[in-house]
């Protein structure tokens, strides 16, 4: 453990009042605390340098606001230059309990996971502490992120309390990862492409007077669009480029049968003369196509769910640095 270095990245944007409290609670096992001032109008970076006495703290600055994803990636890049083993990301608004940091890095150090993330939905009590709008919004985002990322076993995908191994970071292309609020969901998509194992860590909801910069109603359509693109890319790459299996045929046949059945049925329903009843054989054939098509799609979905990465692969990854 003495040879392993743990870093915490804290993106800082309009969190001046809470950030010192977060820094002061970070466990002593953490070797580096990287505060990324993402063009904060409150000059949080300057405030931290002037007020914090913690020698582990380093402030990284963006001249302008580039988004939470960009801030986190800047922290990741700096951590890699320090030969860090695991990098934990915590928000600076005080909603995440820093004392839980060991629960995030221990599964990675033990080889149980490549990436760990917080889950506020682990118990009914925790859910009760969340505002209703957050519950509804995060549930919807969780559902669509399961489709896009392939990680059907996780919940609360926008939870920013995360930890990732050095090997995983070295094998990610940072330029292709979303730089703003879609960062967490997009990051999962890129992790799946590496076949990285992801597990949820139960965390309690903590809400005070702070206000979140993420407004679910404002970004839901953006998240839906981004997740839809990632879903199509993931399915096409995994089932038609990287490999071709029975599941690939199930998806193709299911889509064809279901689409033809629905289009044909609507055509007969809305464009046939109302005084002429449809032949029984036509109705049966149309219904059969839809039912069989849906069965093929369900079979494909069941197979896709079974493909969740189950083994940590950090130690087996080839670092890009070794290829240079």
pLDDT digits over 10-46, tens only?
999 999 999 999 999 999 999 999 999 999 999 999 9
Min mean pLDDT across 57-66, 262-271, 275-284 is at 275-284
Q: Which of 171, 174, 178, 172 is nearest to 157 (CA)?
A: 178
Arch. (CATH architecture) of 6-227? Alpha-Beta Complex (3.90)
pLDDT digits over 89-132, tens only?
999 999 899 999 999 999 999 999 999 999 988 877 767 767 77
Length of the chain: 324
Rounded mean pLDDT of 53-72? Answer: 95
Report the predicted TM-score, pTM, of the whole model to 2 decimal places: 0.87
Q: Which of 21, 48, 47 is nearest to 34 (CA)?
A: 48
C-alpha to C-alpha distances, 35 to 72, 74, 163, 308, nearest whole angstrom: 9, 10, 16, 33
Min mean pLDDT across 52-56, 86-90, 123-127, 147-151 is at 123-127
């Amino acid at each position: 453990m003495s040879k392993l270095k743990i870093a915490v990245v804290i993106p800082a944007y309009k969190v001046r009042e809470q950030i010192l409290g977060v820094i002061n609670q970070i466990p002593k096992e953490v070797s580096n605390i990287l505060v990324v001032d993402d063009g904060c109008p409150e000059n949080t970076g300057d405030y931290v340098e002037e007020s914090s006495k913690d020698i582990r703290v380093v402030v990284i600055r963006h001249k302008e606001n580039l988004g939470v994803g960009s801030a986190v990636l800047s922290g990741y890049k700096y951590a890699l230059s320090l030969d860090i083993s695991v990098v934990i990301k915590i928000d600076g608004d005080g909603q995440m309990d820093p004392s839980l940091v060991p629960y995030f890095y221990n599964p990675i150090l033990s080889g149980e996971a490549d990436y760990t993330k917080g889950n506020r939905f682990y118990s009914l009590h925790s859910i009760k502490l969340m505002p209703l709008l957050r519950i509804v919004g995060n549930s919807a985002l969780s559902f669509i992120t399961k489709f896009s990322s392939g990680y059907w076993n996780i919940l609360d995908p926008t939870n920013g309390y995360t930890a990732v191994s050095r090997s995983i970071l070295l094998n990610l292309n940072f330029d292709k990862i979303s730089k703003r609020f879609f960062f967490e969901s997009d990051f999962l998509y890129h992790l799946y492409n590496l076949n990285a194992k992801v597990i949820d860590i139960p965390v309690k909801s903590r809400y005070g007077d702070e206000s979140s910069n993420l407004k679910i109603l404002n970004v839901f359509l953006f998240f839906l669009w981004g997740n839809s693109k990632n879903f199509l890319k993931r399915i096409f790459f995994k089932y038609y480029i990287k490999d071709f299996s029975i599941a690939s045929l199930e998806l193709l046949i299911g889509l064809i049968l279901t689409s033809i059945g629905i289009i044909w049925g609507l055509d007969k329903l809305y464009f046939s003369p109302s005084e002429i009843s449809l032949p029984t054989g036509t109705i049966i054939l149309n219904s059969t196509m839809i039912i069989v098509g849906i069965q093929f799609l369900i079979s494909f979905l069941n197979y896709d769910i079974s493909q969740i990465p189950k083994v940590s692969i950090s130690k087996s990854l080839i670092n890009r640095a070794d290829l240079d």
